A and B are shown apart, each in its own frame.
Chain A
Amino acid sequence: MTRKRRRLYFLLFGMAGLGIAVALVLAAFRDNLVFFYSPSEILAKHVAPDRRIRVGGLVEEGSLVKKADGLTVTFRITDRAHEIPVTYKGALPDLFREGQGVVAEGHLRANGNFQASEVLAKHDEKYMPPEVVKALKKAGRWKENESTMPKGPPS
């Protein structure tokens, strides 16, 4: 085999491999991209039920209800313009609290309820997920003084 020919084979092999990889990536993207919506967007756009999505906003004050089994909870996520009811079964994260930022992943049911399979409330009680900040800003309910991470120590 000449040098040129061998190089050609390597090249062809590499292209074929890359092609497979690209196909894998595209297929995985089509099925596994999880879009993020605010409650207002969900109500405005018609998100297909069964599609895996994320909803973010604040946990509405006074909306958290624990069911009798002690594990199922319902609460509402709000962007202070609209809200959406959420059902979740499982242990809530440590930092889940009413009035604070939250992101829930799951799917919409036909009745407009959101069935969450995962609830994310991240690592700092003053922290607000940037998606949530954006959603609140979009809904025009963002007060600038609620910074995502207050700088400086408490006085």
Chain B
Amino acid sequence: MIAEIGHFALGLALILACAQAFFPLAGAARGRVLWMNVAEPAAVGQFAFVAVAFACLTYLYIVSDFSVATVAENSNSALPLLYKIAGTWGNHEGSMVLWVLILSLFGMSVALFGGNLPPQLRARVLSVQGMIAAGFLLFIVLTSNPFLRLVPVPANGRDLNPLLQDPGLAFHPPFLYLGYVGFSMAFSFAIAALIEGRVDAAWARWVRPWTLAAWCFLTLGIAMGSWWSYYTLGWGGWWAWDPVENASFMPWLAGTALLHSAIVTEKRDALKSWTILLAILTFSLSLIGTFLVRSGVLTSVHSFANDPARGLFILLLLGVAIGGSLFLYALRAPRLKSGGLFSAISREGSLVLNNFLLAVGAATVFIGTLYPLFLDSIGGDKVSVGPPYFNATFVPLMVPMILVMGIGPMLSWKRADLAGALSRLKLAAAVSIVVAFAAFIFATHGSVLAYGGIALAMWLLAATLIEFADRIRLFRVDWRDSLRRAAALPRAAYGMTIAHAGLAIVIAGITVSSAWRIESIQVMRPGDSVNVAGYTFTLNGVTETQGPNYTANQARFTVTQDGKPVAVMLPEKRLYPVQGMPITAAAIRTNGLFDLYATLGDKTGDGWTTRIYFNPLIPWLFGGAVIMFLGGLVSLSDRRYRIGAPTRKRALAAGARASA
């Protein structure tokens, strides 16, 4: 019964989404206020119905109703409650419902909080949201119904993939989706602006917070996925340039570019058509990312099914959404008049350069990710593109970007004094060279690239801090005066400083952890010791233990440094009986500067294969990503977003509503 209610609710949501797609758009075109007013209740109702469907699905997972096919395939009665719930979106069908739930949540928030938007713009935005929702709901209902019944009812389910039974991964998809779907707002606003044929500062000011929120969630979602792969895949890697990872990274790159070009559109009334194009591309990449990962085109822990009917529908949906929006763009973009002129050396100029490098970087990732699929689909060779390709293309593009990131914020709008900015950054350059040189003297081994990476991270950090100090005129005026200036700075300025510093910390983490990690693989018998980076790991023994739904061999390592005990580490090799799947659970000991990382492998004779790693600055990598996320949040809390952003048409909008 619950399953049928959920299914029915999806159907109703689809009907509402169709109404929401059609009436407001037609109403806005013909000036029929009544039709435009359909948007608001439709968006709210659509969210309500999708929420009902999602709640039904979650309930079915919690009570382990194995008469429903997706539950039987992806859950088990022995599963801990958290993973029963996480199982709801741990499969293709459920994850699509989560996607639409988040989409309709965003749509509803425009309906409810968009009161100060010009009514026609709001109607059109909601209509585009309705179209996206309709497409996805149709996809779910036609090809991926999560409520399908199963006859006969099995006694128990086939269990959630043990790799997904992890707290980090339980929340990775929702955050990733909040990011992907969040970009749908920028997309809807872009399409609405193209239909209207106008983009102004108020438009950009509306788009920015949505983009920023999406960017924050996506940053956190990617960091979570990376963290998960670091501690569960058992080899300490956090990024492999796997197509699945790239799928989430491409929208992040485009979204980052969008975030910055929207600033120029808002503040300087320039780069309008580029901002619109980026909004379209970012969401298109999000769509491609969602489908690439979920459709089974790529093979990974994420892909759940290989169903040709789905593939065709997906291609159709992508074609309509991306092709249609780009066609509209080609038709309408030339009409957008750009305002503010600026010289090449200016804040705008630096943002253009940054955008260009991010976009080209995203393009190289795109080519590397999709080329093997393309070649395969035309019947060519089977190839794979691995990390060396991305290191050779993406990294060189990011070096100038980081350099410019240090300089850009120092430049003034419109026309800037480059020599002046550079002279203020002399200190940053000196610091970065000194630190890289110090690393060269103290580190035993390392490549030129590694020292370059350190210098780059230091440059960005120092330049970011100098820019902040400049703003509050630190050491140039009385410190109390500086404090007063600091208090008066807008939150957006703080957000930028924090996020840019976060990226510097991430770069330091990436560089140091890849250049100076120490790895030791060996066979150990109980009582054996191995020395890694000055730490002595002694294997005390291996015992059998029992988890809630698995059995495990647990090794006990005593870690000492110069004879003094440091830690006891307990890595496990687990076996999940339902799927007969072994999992390596690493033991990690962190102190904020480096991680000690130990895993237990197979039994070999009378010993065990063990792997021990020393991972320096890995905590900075994940910590830096969280700092970037926090920087985004701080910026999002800026005053001007809270007190009704666009002031341009408030009077006009109010007038229109009064007359309605």
A residues at B contact (CB < 8 Å): 1, 3, 6, 9-10, 14, 17-18, 21, 24-25, 27-29, 31-37, 54, 66, 69-71, 90-92, 94-95, 105, 122-125, 127, 129-131, 134, 148-149, 151-155
Q: Complex Cα distance A97/B477, Å? A: 70
Question: Pick the contact of A129 from B299, B364, B392, B580 — CB < 8 Å?
Answer: B299
Q: Complex Cα distance A11/B367, Å? A: 23
Cβ of B243 to closest chain A Cβ, rounded Å = 13
Contact residue range for chain B? 35 or more
A71-B521, A95-B581 given; A31·B384 CB < 8 A? no
A21-B360, A123-B161, A124-B579 given; A32·B605 CB < 8 A? no
Q: Complex Cα distance A33/B389, Å? A: 8
**B344 touching A123, Cβ below 8 Å:** no
Q: Complex Cα distance A66/B579, Å? A: 26
A91-B601, A154-B154 given; A34·B384 CB < 8 A? yes
A28-B388, A33-B385, A94-B234 given; A17·B523 CB < 8 A? no
| B382 close to chain A: CB less than 8 A | yes
Q: Which residues of B lie under 8 Å from residue A69 when comparing CB positions?
A: 523
Q: List 10 additional A-B contacts (Cβ < 8 Å) besides A6-B343, A35-B382, A153-B72.
A: A24-B393, A35-B383, A36-B381, A36-B384, A70-B523, A91-B601, A123-B301, A125-B579, A152-B150, A153-B157
Q: Complex Cα distance A66/B608, Å? A: 13
Q: Which residue of B lies closest to A71 (CB)?
A: B521
A28-B392, A71-B521 given; A125·B581 CB < 8 A? yes
| B163 close to chain A: CB less than 8 A | yes
**B382 touching A122, Cβ below 8 Å:** no
Q: Which residues of B lie under 8 Å from residue A9 when comparing CB positions?
A: 344
Q: Which residues of A lie under 8 Å from residue B573 when comparing CB positions?
A: 94
**A33, A105, A124, A153 — which one has the most chain B CB atoms within 10 A of its CB?**
A153
Cβ of B370 to closest chain A Cβ, rounded Å = 12
**B581 touching A122, Cβ below 8 Å:** no
Cβ of A129 to closest chain B Cβ, rounded Å = 6
21 A-B pairs with C-beta separation under 8 A: A6-B343, A6-B344, A10-B344, A28-B392, A33-B383, A34-B383, A34-B384, A70-B522, A70-B523, A70-B609, A71-B521, A71-B609, A91-B235, A94-B582, A95-B581, A123-B300, A127-B299, A134-B382, A149-B305, A152-B69, A153-B154
**A31 touching B392, Cβ below 8 Å:** yes
| B374 close to chain A: CB less than 8 A | no
| B604 close to chain A: CB less than 8 A | yes
Q: Which residue of A lies closest to B584 (CB)?
A: A94
Cβ of A154 to closest chain B Cβ, rounded Å = 7
Q: Which residues of B lie under 8 Å from residue A95 when comparing CB positions?
A: 581-582
Q: Complex Cα distance A105/B382, Å? A: 13
**A124 touching B161, Cβ below 8 Å:** yes
Cβ of B473 to closest chain A Cβ, rounded Å = 33
Q: Which residues of B lie under 8 Å from residue A124 when comparing CB positions?
A: 161, 579, 581
Question: Pick the contact of B604 from A1, A24, A66 — CB < 8 Å?
Answer: A66
Q: Which residues of B lie under 8 Å from residue A105 when comparing CB positions?
A: 386
**B341 touching A3, Cβ below 8 Å:** yes
Q: Which residues of B lie under 8 Å from residue A17 when comparing CB positions?
A: 356-357, 360
| B306 close to chain A: CB less than 8 A | yes
| B638 close to chain A: CB less than 8 A | no
Cβ of A118 to closest chain B Cβ, rounded Å = 9
Question: Pick the contact of B364 from A3, A21, A151, A155 — CB < 8 Å?
Answer: A21
Q: Which residues of B lie under 8 Å from residue A29 when comparing CB positions?
A: 371, 385, 389
Q: How many A-B residue pairs have CB under 8 A?
A: 128
Cβ of B324 to closest chain A Cβ, rounded Å = 26
Q: Which residues of A lie under 8 Å from residue B579 when comparing CB positions?
A: 124-125
Chain B stretch 329-369: residues in CB contact (< 8 A) with chain A: 341, 343-344, 352, 356-357, 360, 363-364, 367-368
Cβ of B20 to closest chain A Cβ, rounded Å = 35
**A31 touching B341, Cβ below 8 Å:** no
Q: Complex Cα distance A155/B604, Å? A: 36
Q: Complex Cα distance A122/B296, Å? A: 14
B residues at A contact (CB < 8 Å): 66, 69, 72-73, 150, 154, 156-158, 161, 163, 234-235, 299-301, 305-306, 341, 343-344, 352, 356-357, 360, 363-364, 367-368, 371, 381-386, 388-389, 392-393, 396-397, 521-523, 573, 579-584, 601-602, 604-605, 607, 609, 611
Q: Complex Cα distance A123/B382, Å? A: 21
3 cross-chain pairs, A with B, having the tightest CB-CB distances, nearest first:
A70-B523, A36-B382, A28-B392
Q: Which residues of A lie under 8 Å from residue B357 when comparing CB positions?
A: 17
Cβ of B269 to closest chain A Cβ, rounded Å = 15
Q: Which residues of A lie under 8 Å from residue B523 when comparing CB positions?
A: 69-71
Question: Pick the contact of B385 from A1, A34, A90, A155 — CB < 8 Å?
Answer: A34
Q: Which residues of A lie under 8 Å from residue B235 when comparing CB positions?
A: 91
Q: Which residues of A lie under 8 Å from residue B301 when comparing CB positions?
A: 122-123
Q: Complex Cα distance A17/B72, Å? A: 53
Q: Which residues of A lie under 8 Å from residue B607 when comparing CB positions?
A: 70
**A18 touching B299, Cβ below 8 Å:** no
Question: Pick the contact of B392 from A6, A27, A35, A94 — CB < 8 Å?
Answer: A27
Q: Which residues of B lie under 8 Å from residue A152 when comparing CB positions?
A: 69, 72-73, 150
**A17, A123, A125 — which one has the most chain B CB atoms within 10 A of its CB?**
A123
Q: Complex Cα distance A125/B163, Å? A: 12
A21-B397, A29-B389, A32-B385 given; A94·B73 CB < 8 A? no
Question: Pick the contact of A153 from B158, B381, B397 — CB < 8 Å?
Answer: B158
Q: Which residue of B lies closest to A96 (CB)?
A: B602
Cβ of B277 to closest chain A Cβ, rounded Å = 14
Q: Which residues of B lie under 8 Å from residue A151 when comparing CB positions?
A: 73
Q: Complex Cα distance A10/B352, Å? A: 10
Cβ of B398 to closest chain A Cβ, rounded Å = 12
Q: Which residues of A lie under 8 Å from residue B581 when comparing CB positions?
A: 94-95, 124-125
Question: Pick the contact of A90 from B163, B397, B521 — CB < 8 Å?
Answer: B521
**B73 touching A153, Cβ below 8 Å:** yes
Question: Pick the contact of A25 from B364, B384, B582 — CB < 8 Å?
Answer: B364
Cβ of A5 to closest chain B Cβ, rounded Å = 11
Q: Complex Cα distance A119/B389, Å? A: 19
Q: Which residue of B lies closest to A135 (CB)?
A: B382
Cβ of B603 to closest chain A Cβ, rounded Å = 10
Cβ of B526 to closest chain A Cβ, rounded Å = 15
Q: Which residues of B lie under 8 Å from residue A92 when comparing CB positions?
A: 601-602
Q: Which residues of A lie under 8 Å from residue B300 when comparing CB positions?
A: 122-123
**A149 touching B306, Cβ below 8 Å:** yes
Q: Which residues of B lie under 8 Å from residue A18 when comparing CB positions?
A: 360
